[in-house]
Amino acid sequence: MIVLGIDPGTAALGYGTVERTGARLRLVDAGCFETPSTWGLPQRLLAIHRHVVEQIELHRPDIVAVERLFFSKNAQTAFAVGQARGVVLLAAAAAEVPVREATPNEVKTAVTGYGAADKEQVGRMVAVLLNLEAPPRPDDAADAVAIAIWAANSERDGVAGAAPATRPVGALDRSAVTPAATGESSFDRAVREALQRERTARKVS
C-alpha cells in the first residue's frame, strides 16, 4: 500500500509518500512545496493543485491522507489551511483516490504516543519508524510523512476510513470528507464548559 500524506498550507505545503508492506514502512518521497509570497491566492492554489496532481500521478497512491483542520488561534492561518485542503481534496477526488483525514493530535498520538508532541519529537519518531538517519526536512515534510504513517498504520489495523460521525470536528472544518454530526458532541460540550468556567473565574477575580 502506498500513502501520500499532505500537510496543507498555501505558502508551504508538506508532502510525504510512504509504502507499507506488511508491518514494514518505507519512505518513498518527502518534501515541501512553497509558493512565492508575490503570487496572488488563485495562482498559489493552482500551483498547489498541479503539484498534488503530479505527486498522485508519480506515486499512484492507494490513499491520500490529509490533516483535518481542527482549531487555530490565528483565523487567517486557519483559512489558508482550509483553502489548501480544498485543492488537495479536489486533486484526490479527480484521481478517484480515497481520502483519509486526521487531526494533528490524532497524528501525534499515533506517531509519538503523545498528542501534544512538538515538531522535533514528531520528526525524531518519524525517523525511528522509517529507519532514517535524520528526520525529513523541513518540518512540513516531516509532518506530512507523519500523516502518511498514521493512515498506513490505521489501514493495517483496520480502523481507518472516513472519520466516524461522532468524531469531534473543528468548527472551521466544513470541507471535511465526513462532516461533523449535528447536535452537540462531547467535545463541543467540554469546550463550552471550559469557556463557562473561564468566564466565571474572571467574574470572581
Nearest one of 66, 153, 73 to 113, comparing CA atoms: 153
Judge whether 67 counts as a catalytic residue. Answer: yes
Residue pair 188/182 in contact (Cβ under 8 Å)? The answer is no
C-alpha distances in Å from residue 34, one per residue of 38, 77, 83: 12, 15, 15
C-alpha distances in Å from residue 12, one per residue of 46, 131, 144, 177: 14, 26, 11, 22
C-alpha cell at 49: 493543485
Which of 19, 101, 106, 140 is flagged as catalytic?
140
Which of 7, 106, 143, 155 is flagged as catalytic?
7
Residue 5 amino acid letter? G
Which of 67, 139, 143, 173 is flagged as catalytic?
67
CA–CA dist 118, 122 (Å, integer): 6
Residues tagged active-site: 7, 67, 140
